[in-house]
Structure 1
Amino acid sequence: MTSADLLDPEVLSRLGNLSFRARSVVEGFIAGMHQSPYHGFSVEFSEHRPYAPGDETRILDWKVYGRTDRLVVKQFQEETNLKAYLVVDASASMSFGSRRLSKLDYAKHLAAALAYLMLKQRDAVGLLTFDEKPRRYYPPRSVMTYLNPLLSELESLQPGGQTRVGPVLHELAERIRRRGLILLFSDLLDDPSEVLSGLRHFRHDHHEVLVFHILDPLERDLNLTGNVIFEDLETRQRIGAQAALLRRSYRERVREFLEALRRGCRQHSIDYVLMDTSERFDRALFEYLVKRRKIGG
């Protein structure tokens, strides 16, 4: 199995538990970073710094040298550079999936992989889950042993409740007082103005924000034929229609919805990443590392 295979949702979903998958995604990503499109971009772990004349050779990390031809020394201080909050939408709409992974499954894998990557970098990471109201909160910590309770919570997370992204983000912004990086994983199936209002609350409080907007490919293009029964996963309301007759207007509505979110995020310096559940996980990790580099630490 190649490093690329470990980044494929369809392949990864057949392997082990969430802990194994999270580690596989990160290790596969790091192993493949010399390949396009990530050539020249490196993952810098805070336990290393460049070698300087006078440093003791016993603290050189020869494994890193063997991989990268760079001399670095191990650092042992426990100081933390960043506090990150993984905010995961577990509302009922996240249960939808036309592929092996539902939107919630995909969000869990992304959040788990990012938690592992952050802890490898000695950054502090916390977790918040929500539907129409906040569910669980794990405050940020920077020790690798914290990965186990985070992944246990993610693995047991079940979808339920209606989507109220905007109001819940306001509640969470009031709860999170220490400045940090907010990473939101959601389908954002709510009024865009409400969603953007909640995201702006975080920016007003001087948080950095990175949004992973997760949709199923079928939600984006409505690639169906014949008579179809559509069911709202939150209200259970059903309606029958000819898919072909709806497709053009549906796609236009989706385009307008996505553009409103993109434009609103751009206006308020919020990083927005649209992903669907067929995409490899490496793009999300790369977007995080770009954001991490921007904010320093």
Structure 2
Amino acid sequence: MSTPDFIPRDVRARLKDVRLVPRRAVGAHGFGLHHSRSRGAGLEFAQYRAYEPGDEPRQVDWKLYARSDRFFVREAERDSPITAWLLIDATASMNQGDAARAQWTRLDAARALAACTMEVALRQGDLFGLAVLGGNGLTVVPAGTGLRHRDRCLLALHDVRADAAWPVETTLRPLWERIAPGSLVLMLGDGFDANATLFAQRLAAARREVLAIRILTAEERDFPFRGGHRFVDVESGEEVLTDAASVRGEFLARFGAARRSLAMQLAANGIRQVEYFMDEALDLPLRRLFAMRGDTELA
């Protein structure tokens, strides 16, 4: 089976500008925490490489260009003590699609966002692991790096199916043992499962740096429905038949209040969250997430 590619070509090109940097330096303490050497902006010169489309002109060594008539980019070497974990919500609610993008679900968006984050971590030389929660309970690909490891993670993503509910606490114990203190944890899901929120808070309290991308549909944002409409809860199967126009205002108000309440709850526990609507570019939530961080460099 060929390795699936979840990243559109234009998005892949823009990912070169994204950097994963932890909020706080964590040093070399803590079992399971690894150091890597990654190429990027820094103080200590490491090497030259050929210019690629998307590189910043300020990175070009113009003196070398004058001598060789070829474009080369200067890269510096920095310590990068990052182990990034991607936690994907694969419960039944992730099956929800959106008319704005046919045949694409929340789970598809989560797969693609995870793949984007892996590409950034791979470029930086950092370790990354994958955990899928829901569906068959818990699936874990231990942290590693390199192209072969990336491909193992992508194949695991390809096999994910959204089903059932958030795993019980005993099922999650192996994941606790894998994610070391100081790790960077990115949670990808719709964000409205109380058990998932509790798990994120526990991780943050245990010295894991937790970030979250809440995946929402454009229909949830805009509520474009008209006339009589049947709304179905994809997890419980409960149905509500109503006149869409008459409930639009109330839905948008209550949905907005719920989103704000959850964002405040996460922020109070030191968890940074951004929202991603499924009609937006895939790299946008990563830019939103990391551009908010004072120690993150965006070219």
User: By the TM > 0.5 criterion, same fold?
Assistant: yes
Pairing 1:218-297 to 2, within 5 Å after superposition: 218-287=219-288, 289-290=290-291, 294=295
What corresponds to 2:148 in structure 1? Answer: 145
Q: Point out which structure has higher relative CO (alpha carbons under 8 A, 6+ apart).
A: 2
Secondary structure (helix, strand or coil) at the match of 2:84 reads strand
The one-letter code matched in structure 1 to 2:235 is E
Structure 2: tracts of 5 or more residues without a match: 22-36, 62-72
Deviation at 1:27, TM superposition (A): 1.8
Against the structure 1 CA distance between its residues 169 and 208, is the aligned structure 2 distance closer, same or farther, given a 3 Å change threshold?
farther
Percent of counterpart pairs with the same letter? 21
Contact 1:110/1:281 (8 A) holds in 2: yes
TM-score, normalised with respect to structure 1: 0.75
Partners of 1:184 and 1:170 in 2: how far apart?
Answer: 14
What corresponds to 1:8 in structure 2? Answer: none
Partners of 1:46 and 1:271 in 2: how far apart?
Answer: 24
Contact 1:127/1:150 (8 A) holds in 2: yes
- Confirm or deny that 1:28 pairs with 2:29: no
Against the structure 1 CA distance between its residues 49 and 270, is the aligned structure 2 distance closer, same or farther, given a 3 Å change threshold?
closer
Deviation at 1:109, TM superposition (A): 0.6
What corresponds to 2:130 in structure 1? Answer: 127
TM-score, normalised with respect to structure 2: 0.75
Structure 1: tracts of 5 or more residues without a match: 1-15, 34-40
Could you report, residue by residue, the CA deviation over 1:58-105 in whole angstroms, capped at 9, with x for unpaired residues?
A: x43343788532563576x9x862101000111111111122321111
Moved more, 113-122 or 282-291: 282-291
Alignment coverage as a number of residue pairs: 263
What corresponds to 1:61 in structure 2? Answer: 49
Contact 2:185/2:211 (8 A) holds in 1: yes
Partners of 1:169 and 1:19 in 2: how far apart?
Answer: 30
Partners of 2:137 and 2:5 in 1: how far apart?
Answer: 24
Partners of 1:200 and 1:18 in 2: how far apart?
Answer: 32
Partners of 2:128 and 2:158 in 1: how far apart?
Answer: 17
Contact 2:218/2:277 (8 A) holds in 1: yes
Partners of 2:171 and 2:264 in 1: how far apart?
Answer: 19
What corresponds to 1:6 in structure 2? Answer: none
Secondary structure (helix, strand or coil) at the match of 2:214 reads strand
The one-letter code matched in structure 1 to 2:51 is K
Partners of 2:258 and 2:171 in 1: how far apart?
Answer: 19
Moved more, 182-191 or 104-113: 182-191
Q: CA RMSD for the aligned pairs? A: 3.5
Moved more, 65-74 or 109-118: 65-74
- Confirm or deny that 1:157 pairs with 2:145: no
What corresponds to 2:177 in structure 1? Answer: 175
Partners of 2:170 and 2:227 in 1: how far apart?
Answer: 38
The structure where helix makes up a greater share of residues is: 1
Against the structure 1 CA distance between its residues 66 and 189, is the aligned structure 2 distance closer, same or farther, given a 3 Å change threshold?
closer
